[in-house]
Chains A and B, each alone.
Chain A
């Protein structure tokens, strides 16, 4: 059974640019959630995808968007990057009917905006 894999592991972007982060969910999981973790803080919920549709969103602006594909993998896109977007971006997968009880987190993508 494979876990959650995220790519890339590290990324440096310039303010104003756009970035795409990728996540492959754990085998058998059909729901993907994305979290932003600033340095020294707990993860903050961005949004969740189930059946290729957004299934809830946290307090993040529209320039944060996502996709889920038929194989349940997911992308997080951030447009018009700001310095404050620098953070660790975590993907978590789960099986919908187990929801909160079955989250598995990936190791994250460290994004630095300069």
Chain B
């Protein structure tokens, strides 16, 4: 069955360091992936997305890498700041008319000042 999982449940970094959050997926039909940030008491907030016809996409301080061969996705955050502390989820969608997103369990990122 389809599933999206994360390698590490928690990640602690120093302010200014780069962070890498990993995600594995099992559904070969997945063709769209999104990273969300969820702060305490809030809903998921869109960070960056990538389609399966790409292997890299960059945003402001964030980069998403997609390796379809091993079904692996990563989110890189440059110069991590205390405001980046949150739970990060990857989510996938396999297209069609029903825009269901399948989320992983999440990684808690803690940025130490």
Contacts and interface: CB of A to CB of B under 8 A. Distances in A.
- In the complex, which range does the number of interface residues on chain A fall in? 20 to 34
Interface residues of B, number: 23
A76 B38 CA distance: 22
Given A103-B46, A107-B41, A107-B42, A55 B98 contact: yes
A73 interface: no
Contacts of B99: 31, 33, 48, 56, 94, 99-100, 103
A6 to B, nearest CB: 8
A76 to B, nearest CB: 14
A61 interface: no
Interface of A: 4, 31, 33, 35, 40-45, 48, 55-56, 58, 90, 92, 94, 99-101, 103-108
